Chains A and B, each alone.
Chain A
Amino acid sequence: MKRAPIRCDVAVIGAGPAGLAAAVEAANEGAQNVLLLERDDHLGGILQQCIHSGFGLHLFGEDLTGPEYAERFIDRLSSTPVRPMLHTMVVELRPDRSILAVSRRGGLQEILPSAVVLAMGCRERTRGAIAVPGSRPAGVMSAGQAQRFINIEGILPGREIVVLGSGDIGMIMARRLHLEGCMVRAVVEAGSCIGGLSRNLVQCIQDFGIPLYLSHTVSEIHGQSRVEGVHVAPIASDGTLERGRAFRLDCDTLLLSVGLIPENELSRQAGIVLDRPTGGPAVDQRFQTSIPGIFAAGNVVQVFDLVDHVSACGTAAGAAAARYAMGKRAQVRESAVCAGAGVRSLTPQRVAGNEGMVPFFLRARAQTRKAKVRLIDGGDAVIQEWRFPIVRPPEMIRVEVDAGNLPQNGAYSFQITGESS
């Protein structure tokens, strides 16, 4: 059944932390008609399965669980006229910002928004993407999937667990499974330092005596029907696998926490320019993508370390989308900012106009002590410099720059120097 298209000021795709914040702020900014499109049956996205604490320290000064953190925004949402549409999957986003969504109740639905906020979040990197060799039995799953099974469905994925990758979800699930009485044999990390936050190393791994193998990887999965074990091999400093020193760990489950990837199927479909280092749309400080009127916020732009930052992006993107929808569009020139030496990725990649403070989020390429973060211009002149005792790739660096210091049409970059460790 083909329904009449819905016109609205702002359509937000995804009701996780970024989308919730964007929808709330779009309404606060004065957008009358805001749709919040969510494919799942609840608001809050992945936060609802993150029953551990550690959320909200920056934004609320409190240590909240994921569902508690989500509830703060859901409460705010309920006092706005935002219309949440659950069970609604956006299947097409076109360059003219029109949307095709499907839902069991509404069938196919065309939506014609004046502005769009992309807030689809991210997905987990898979076994196939890193080509872990071996058999293909049941019992290999992503840490996030296991988290959903345990915390939402109340079912364990297995009893004897090896976790490959030390992303935050991997470490958190190692602890969760340990607390459920499972035997967590090891967390195995290919890198020479952990992939997640230092606090999770302490609180999830060390506090529970879970063995951690750095510079190791799973070299083979065993078991035809169900996982029966894995071989773990050290990785030499030249990157080769030391097969001769591999050892077997018996387990019935292998969880993967080997990275998160911004979820940009729709962005690609619409022809939005994606930034290679982040994997998300290139944005300006108001989170506008390469297509005017399409904004992007949260992990869809760049995988963040803390949900507080995700919400802050959502708030900024929601406000900007509302202003765009209400016709407040200033034509301003832009400066380009790129990742220089020592910087893996950064956002925003563009700065529009020369007013206000611009928060930048940077990821370092390597763990660096006595780090100097510098913003330099095209002629290598240092515009601004910040110092940090240590920077680590999993933890983002947030610095603020006065847009007035970035003359328009310039080309700038960030650099990180210091002692590698």
Chain B
Amino acid sequence: MAEKTDLLIIGAGAVGTALARELSRLSLRILVVDRLHDVGGDASKSNSAIIHTGFDAPPGTLESRLVTQANPMYDRLAADLDIPFRRVGAILVALSEEEEAELPHILEKALANGVPDVERLEAAAIRGMEPAVNPAVRCGLLVPRESIIDPFLLVVAQAEVAASNGVEFSTGREVTGLQRHPGGFLVATSRGDIEASFVVNAAGMFTDRLSAQLGIKDFTVHPRRGQFHVLDRAAPVGVQRIILPVPTKTTKGRLLAPTVHGNWIMGPTAEELEDRTTHGTTQEGLAEVVRDVRRLVPGADPSWAITQYDGLRPVRTPDGYHLRSFPGIPGYLELSGIRSTGVTASVAVARYASDLLQQMGLPQAARTGPVTRRKGISCFREAEPAARAALVEGDPLYASVICRCETVTEAEILQAIRRTPGARDVDGIKRRVRAGLGRCQGGFCGSRIPAILARELGCTLHEVSKKGPGSEILNGGTKSQRRAAS
């Protein structure tokens, strides 16, 4: 018997979870599936962690409209979701004559995009605001509302709100078939069939393959890889804002940005690839990032790196956001072409998609007393002394420090596991509460967190994984253990 749902969202990245949260105010059965073993998506969790203003989007496009619309929504959203969000601002740094010549065009574009607060800065002003910027700076642009966020927490927090309203999340579940069916769709997955009246394709890199199953074959998607370095909090980088190069025709260039957790990230590269699921950094890519970023900020020193990562941005051909329903396929909504601006735009995309679904006939009966806010996991490290005492009083496990670099306590880790959707693996914990994300990269907590996971999930240490089945961390007992067992 197939599992039945009113609405199925395929993809638990930024767009899928934003939509799940948006629709969770309705009295509907909603199911979100993802091929990965946690919410958070793929591109949605490995990117520049920036909430864009849309100042440099292609003017007049749906993308420009949605990004511009989304940016002002984040103050309220971050408060409702209790997630870190900082309006740090960005400075575009022009170092050559050619780059300087681009600035008027960029200003014009910003105005056309409805971002009127971009202003030109002379070299002295930039040096005053950001003394670490290359002293050869000629001039630049200030984009005050460019902001930073924790993109994973954005997704997980929205998923938690949605789940509080009854939305179900089924991860580690790959869609293998999608076909029309009386009253809606029959969706084959790696863990059983699903019958859904409405299907939303928010599958990012795989939007083309899903649509193709329904005969929509007018676009393709390929990955564009971006590689990043993450620098230690203690690194003497000394910038307050996002530092951007002047974009050229081929690339937006490599940026340096503070993170909401006090680190710095530098990247990304832009490499066109074919394989949609193969992640990896390269020596050349990372070297390119360092070279380009040091041109902007000479003190951005990779010897302070604590880790590297890469993200695969879905690139649609033909490009542009395509949020579309199809008259011949009632109940199917495709959200494709949502590229590197997708994390920013996701909240606006969700509203837009919700309106489309209403037009498509999605029942609008409201849920009674929907949850709209969520309280984050209280963080011991960032709490004031009095608040720390209160945390410990409320739960003595707040005094049991598991990750020493980020000062993450057992209480926080248990909450990360026990919430819905909760962490089921080491990466899930890392992304929710930062345990293992510090400068020792799990050297100390790496053996303690699997033990907590095993205890909480009722499994053996051997079954604990980094990121789902197939990524188990350990492999069998030692000789003495094997002897004892036999």
Interfacial residues, chain A to chain B (CB-CB below 8 A): 1-2, 39, 87, 89, 91, 100, 102-108, 123-124, 126-129, 131, 133-139, 141-142, 144-145, 148-150, 152-159, 180-181, 219-221, 224-226, 241, 252-253, 265, 268
- Cα distance, A2 to B385, chains bound together (Å): 10
Task: Give me 12 other A-B pairs in contact (C-beta within 8 A), A123-B443, A137-B466 excluded.
Answer: A108-B392, A126-B306, A127-B307, A129-B439, A131-B281, A133-B282, A133-B286, A134-B280, A141-B473, A150-B478, A225-B469, A265-B405
A-B contacts, 18 listed (Cβ < 8 Å): A123-B443, A126-B443, A128-B306, A133-B285, A136-B280, A136-B309, A138-B473, A141-B473, A142-B443, A144-B443, A145-B443, A155-B481, A157-B475, A158-B474, A180-B478, A225-B468, A226-B470, A268-B234
Taken together as a complex, chains A and B put the C-alpha atoms of A65 and B111 apart, in Å, by 71
With A154-B481, A156-B478 given, is the CB distance from A131 to B467 under 8 Å?
Answer: no
Asked whether A126 lies within 8 Å of B404 as measured between CB atoms, the reply is no
Contact B399 A108 (CB under 8 A): yes
Task: Evaluate contact between B478 and A133: CB separation under 8 angstroms.
Answer: no
Q: What's the minimum C-beta distance from B297 to chain A, rounded to whole angstroms?
A: 18
**Contact, CB under 8 Å: B286 / A224:** no
In the complex, which of the residues B305, B389, B440, B471 contacts A137, with contact meaning CB atoms closer than 8 Å? B471
With A133-B282, A138-B471, A219-B283 known as contacts, the answer to whether A107 contacts B399 (CB < 8 A) is yes
Residues from 393 to 447 in B contacting A, C-beta threshold 8 Å: 393, 396-401, 404-405, 407, 409, 439-444, 446-447
B465 part of interface (Cβ distance < 8 Å): yes
Chain B: interface residue count, which band?
35 or more
By beta carbon, the residue of chain A nearest B278 is: A224
Contact check, A2 vs B282: say whether CB atoms are below 8 A apart. Answer: no
Q: Do residues A1 and B440 form an inter-chain contact, with CB atoms below 8 A?
A: no
Chain B residues close to A by CB (< 8 Å)? 229-230, 234, 277-283, 285-286, 302-303, 305-309, 385, 388-389, 392-393, 396-401, 404-405, 407, 409, 439-444, 446-447, 451, 461-462, 465-481
A151 to B, closest residue via Cβ: B478
- CB atoms of A102 and B471 under 8 A apart: no
Q: Look across to chain B and name the residue whose beta carbon is closest to the beta carbon of A144.
A: B443
Chain A residues lying within 8 Å of B470, measured Cβ to Cβ, are 225-226
- Inter-chain contact A123/B444, CB cutoff 8 Å: yes
**Which of the residues A91, A138, A153 comes within 8 Å of B461, measured between beta carbons?**
A153
Residue among B283, B461, B474, B476 making CB contact with A133, cutoff 8 Å: B283
Bound form: Cα–Cα A226–B442 in Å: 17
Q: Are A145 and B471 in contact (CB under 8 A)?
A: no
- For the complex, what is the distance from the CA of A157 to the CA of B476, rounded to whole Å? 8
Rounded to whole Å, the gap between the CB of A164 and the closest CB of chain B is 15
Q: Which A-B residue pairs are the 4 nearest by beta carbons?
A: A128-B307, A225-B470, A138-B466, A138-B471
Residues of B close to A128: CB separation below 8 A: 230, 305-308, 441
Please state if B393 and A145 are interface contacts (CB–CB under 8 Å): no
By a CB distance below 8 angstroms, the chain A residues around B469 are 225
B97 smallest CB distance to A (angstroms): 34
Closest partner residue, chain B, to A148 (CB atom): B447
Question: Which listed residue, A135, A141, A241, touches B446 by the CB 8 Å rule?
Answer: A141
- Report the bound CA distance from A142 to B286 in whole Å: 22
Known: A131-B286, A157-B475. A89 touches B405 (CB 8 A): no
Closest to A177 in B: B478
Contact of A103 with B399 in the complex, beta carbons under 8 Å: yes
* A residues in contact with B277, CB < 8 Å: 224
- What is the distance, in angstroms, from A259's C-beta to the closest C-beta of chain B? 12
Given contacts A107-B392, A138-B466, A156-B478, A39 and B404 within 8 Å (CB-CB): yes
A183 CB to nearest chain B CB (Å): 12
What residues on B are CB-neighbors of A268 within 8 Å? 234
Contact, CB under 8 Å: B440 / A156: no
CA distance A137 to B468 in the complex (A): 11
**Cβ A129 vs Cβ B393 within 8 A:** no
Quick check: B305 and A129 within 8 Å, CB to CB?
yes
* Interface contact B444-A155, CB-CB below 8 Å: no
Chain A residues within an 8 Å CB radius of B308: 128, 131, 133
* Contact A155-B471, Cβ < 8 Å, known A104-B396, A127-B441: no
CA distance A62 to B184 in the complex (A): 78
Q: Which residues of B contact A104 (CB under 8 A)?
A: 396-397, 399-400
Task: Please measure, in the bound complex, the distance between the C-alpha atom of A136 and the C-alpha atom of B441, giving whole angstroms.
Answer: 12
Q: What is the bound-complex CA distance between A181 and B481, given in angstroms?
A: 13
B391: nearest chain-A partner, CB-CB: A108
Q: Which of A124, A141, A225, A265 contacts B467 (CB 8 A)?
A: A225
Is B480 in contact with A154, judged by CB distance below 8 angstroms?
Answer: yes
User: Given the complex, which residues of B lie within 8 Å of A138, measured CB to CB?
Assistant: 465-467, 471-473
User: Chain B residues with Cβ under 8 A from A219's Cβ?
Assistant: 283
Per the bound structure, the CA–CA distance linking A102 and B391 in Å amounts to: 12
Using CB atoms, name the residue of chain A closest to B381. A91
Write out the residue numbers on chain A whose beta carbons fall within 8 Å of the beta carbon of B229.
131
Residues of B within 8 A of A181 (CB): 479
For A2, the closest partner residue in chain B by CB is B389
Contact B399–A149 (Cβ < 8 Å): no
A136-B279, A142-B443 given; A89·B401 CB < 8 A:
yes
Question: Which residues of B have CB within 8 Å of A152?
Answer: 447
Given A123-B443, A127-B441, A220-B280: A252 touches B466 (CB 8 Å cut-off): no
| Bound complex: CA A374 to CA B451 (Å) | 51
- Cα(A105)–Cα(B398), bound, Å: 11
Q: Which residue of B lies closest to A227 (CB)?
A: B471
Nearest-Cβ distance from residue A166 to partner chain B, whole angstroms = 18
Q: In the complex, are the beta carbons of B476 and A145 less than 8 A apart?
A: no
In the complex, residue of chain A having the shortest beta-carbon distance to the beta carbon of B303: A129
Say whether, besides A123-B440, A131-B286, A138-B467, A89 and B280 are in contact (CB < 8 Å). Answer: no
Q: Cβ of B466: which chain A residues have Cβ within 8 Å of it?
A: 137-138, 225
Q: How far is the CB of A29 from chain B (nearest CB, A)?
A: 30
> A211: shortest Cβ distance to chain B, in Å?
21
Given contacts A123-B440, A126-B443, A145-B446, contact A134 B399 (CB under 8 A): no
Name the distance in Å between A172's Cβ and chain B's nearest Cβ: 15
Given the complex, which residues of B lie within 8 Å of A225, measured CB to CB? 466-471
A224 to chain B, nearest CB (A): 6
Q: Are A224 and B279 in contact (CB under 8 A)?
A: yes
Q: State A129–B281 Cα separation when bound (angstroms).
A: 14
Inter-chain contacts of A123 with B (CB < 8 A): 440, 443-444
A154 touches B471 (CB 8 A): no
Say how far A215's CB is from chain B's closest CB, in angstroms. 17
Q: Give Cα distance in the complex from A60 to B477, angstroms.
A: 34
Knowing A106-B399, A108-B389, A108-B399 are in contact, say whether A156-B476 is a contact too (CB < 8 A). yes
- CB <8 Å contact, B396 and A149: no
Q: Does A135 contact B279, Cβ atoms closer than 8 Å?
A: yes
